[in-house]
Amino acid sequence: MELGNWIKQEREKRDLTQASVSDGIGLSQGTISLWENNKSIPSIVDLYKIAACFGMKSLQEIPFDKLEIKKGDGLIMESLSLYELPTCDSVKTFEGKTYKLKGFMGIEQSSGEVEHVSELYYRTRTVVTNNCVVAKRKNVNDELQKIKGKKLKAK
């Protein structure tokens, strides 16, 4: 499902109009219409406002793993879902730690510390599979975006 269709579906499920959503998040009704028609995409800050307007407590309640984010005809972003993470080899967090993934567990390479994948997912900066970077995010509040596999350089 496309993000705009999801926004419209969630708005209608709550019997909200575009005008009431725009009032609730402080943007124009035209902006809401552009999002719902997949002509424009909301920023991460606007997505947070939308989630709050829909009564959600965090961005984690938005089903990014089931959404395609498109603008017009082109795919803008495809998220790597929490459910896909255990199939990857390792992750590097924003704190600079590298965890080797073993199913739903991550083992930190230098300390041996063990964490559940769900705890690592929201702190992950880079995801690696078969010595290729397959997903990354620039900022902590961004979604983990799939990228074309980019081979890691040997040190």
pLDDT score of 106: 94
pLDDT score of 96: 94
| Number of separate domains in the chain | 2
Residue 44's domain spans which residues? 3-78
pLDDT score of 94: 94
Based on the domain organization, do 90 and 129 belong to the same domain?
Answer: yes
Based on the domain organization, do 32 and 94 belong to the same domain?
Answer: no
- Give the global pTM: 0.51
Q: Rounded distance, CA 89 to CA 128, Å?
A: 6
pLDDT score of 7: 94
Instruction: Record the tokens describing residue 38, joined without a space.
Output: 């997949």
**The Cα angle at residue 35 between residues 52 and 54, in degrees rounded to 5:** 20
Q: Strand 90-93's sheet: what is its strand order?
A: 114-116, 105-108, 98-102, 90-93, 124-129, 132-136, 145-151
CATH number for the domain spanning 38: value is: 1.10.260.40
In the predicted model, residues of the chain with pLDDT beneath 50 are 75
DSSP structure string for 115-148: EEHHHHHTTEEEEEETTEEEEE-SSTTS--EEEE
Based on the domain organization, do 59 and 119 belong to the same domain?
Answer: no
